[in-house]
Structure 1
Amino acid sequence: MGIGQGEASKERLFETKGGLNKMANLAKYSAFILVLLCAVPILAAQAETVSIIRVIDGDTCILENGERVRYYGINAPEKGDPQFNEATQANNKLVAGKKVRLEPQNPSRDKEDRLLAYVFIDEIFINEELLRLGCAHIQRPLAAKYRDRLLRAQQAAREEGLGIWAKAAEQSIVIAEAHADAEGNDWDNLCDEYIVIENREDISIDLTGWIVYDEVHRRYLFPNFILKAKEAVTLRTCLGKNSQSELFWGSRSPIWNNEGDTVFIRDSRGQLVLSYIY
């Protein structure tokens, strides 16, 4: 082979390698573009701007497409509860007729098929704002994102006695113990899940018609019951026979969240007597 032919062969070889390199780079670039395109729907699902046409209550609204949105991580009073109207009005004032940004959560829907989301209007975090106003309380479990912000907002409202945290006249009723984590499987040992309610007054207190409830509004209505001075009563989750020292919720499933919960007690007029967070 002559010198000219050898040089030509080398040039063809270099051209072939160069072409292969260009093809490889093009393939990498195409793959990168494909990844970006695939990511667009995911990003859109994570943060979506929509319009709210109506609110249902203090923690639920309806979008222009008919979708119902349940504000994740909080729980507002239900219809018939104290502060229901105030919470609904506050939510209406904040979001009705406005464009909001939704951050859907995981799981994305609740048992009523409502979209679970954090809700924002510009820089206003609606879930947090409703807590700050005392229009709702925390509902656990909470995701790590925004957890501290939500807890701080609730604590501030609680300390100021705003909204649902406004107390009746001070009474010396306390939660002496909250035993949420029963021994073994909670479902198999409901009687070992209980709260202890203590009367630290020097006089007896009539608890008839009082209500105990948790963060998801599962309720226990006190029967005809007098809690004597300086005594306590244990309220157990299971079925049983009531006595002066023990009352029974009669639930067939656990009530108190092992990861943390809030015990609310309201008197027969619906006024808050105590809230106990564990």
Structure 2
Amino acid sequence: MKKKFVVAVSVAASLLGVVVATPAQAAEAPVYFSRINYDSPGSDTRSNVSLNGEWFRLSNSTKKAIQLKDFTVRDTANHIYKFGSYVLNPGKSVTVHTGKGTDGKPAATDRYWGSGAYIWNNTGDTAILRSATGKTINSCTFGKGTATNC
């Protein structure tokens, strides 16, 4: 029964344009992509609400706080988001929305790319997380309708 539930959740998530990490993937990197909502709900209108419906979430798999200052996230077209000073606490996550907003609102864990255009391709893309020194920490490749987990 548990296996059927996991498959159903994976299929439902892929239909919603959400990519979800597995526990094994979380163990591979101290900071990892735990979810990517690469296809915002509804029509792609380029409104700020629609842009902010596209987002990625990074999670800390360690028992230590990690300073994300100067960490970057990029896609295959080399759109780059660079973190300012931000501490990701142990076992916690931070969500970065594509559009504009005020960092820390509505929740302290919300951040904003500030883009006026969509970043993640709905047909497939790769998200790459790099440390302040440029070392690749984690990546996630996904395609439209796939059950790919990050």
Alignment partner, residue 12 of structure 2: none
Alignment partner, residue 146 of structure 2: none
Alignment partner, residue 85 of structure 2: 224
User: Are 1:272 and 2:145 an aligned pair?
Assistant: no
User: Are 1:171 and 2:29 an aligned pair?
Assistant: yes
Alignment partner, residue 180 of structure 1: 38
Matched residue SS, 2:52: helix
* Alignment map for 1:86-97 (pairs within 5 Å): none
Write the distance in 1 (CA, Å) between the matches of 2:73 and 2:51: 17
Amino acid at match of 1:177: R
Write the distance in 2 (CA, Å) between the matches of 1:214 and 1:225: 21
Partner of residue 253 from structure 1, selected from 112, 117, 127: 117
Matched residue SS, 1:275: strand
Give the conservation status (yes or no) of the 8 Å contact 2:38–2:55. yes
Number of matched pairs: 109
- The ranges of structure 1 where at least 4 consecutive aligned residues each deviate by more than 2 angstroms after the TM superposition are none
Partner of residue 66 from structure 2, selected from 191, 205, 223: 205
Amino acid at match of 2:59: E
User: Which ranges in structure 1 are unaligned for 5 or more consecutive residues?
Assistant: 1-169
Which structure's relative contact order is higher, taking Cα pairs within 8 Å and 6+ residues apart?
2
Amino acid at match of 1:273: I
Matched residue SS, 2:124: coil
Give the conservation status (yes or no) of the 8 Å contact 2:52–2:97. yes
Alignment partner, residue 17 of structure 2: none
Shift of residue 176 of structure 1? 1.1
Matched residue SS, 1:239: coil
Amino acid at match of 1:181: D
Deviations 1:79-118 (A, max 9, x none): xxxxxxxxxxxxxxxxxxxxxxxxxxxxxxxxxxxxxxxx
Shift of residue 270 of structure 1? 0.7
* Structure number with higher helix proportion: 1
Structure exhibiting the larger radius of gyration computed from Cα positions: 1
Write the distance in 2 (CA, Å) between the matches of 1:276 and 1:242: 24
Give the conservation status (yes or no) of the 8 Å contact 2:32–2:137. no
Alignment partner, residue 52 of structure 1: none
Write the distance in 2 (CA, Å) between the matches of 1:192 and 1:272: 26
Amino acid at match of 1:232: S
Shift of residue 260 of structure 1? 0.9
Alignment partner, residue 95 of structure 2: 234
Write the distance in 2 (CA, Å) between the matches of 1:245 and 1:213: 19
TM-score normalised by the chain length of structure 2: 0.70
Shift of residue 171 of structure 1? 3.4
Amino acid at match of 1:245: T
Write the distance in 1 (CA, Å) between the matches of 2:43 and 2:87: 33
Write the distance in 2 (CA, Å) between the matches of 1:238 and 1:185: 15
Aligned identity (percent) is 28
Matched residue SS, 1:223: coil
Shift of residue 256 of structure 1? 0.5
Root mean square deviation, CA, Å = 1.1
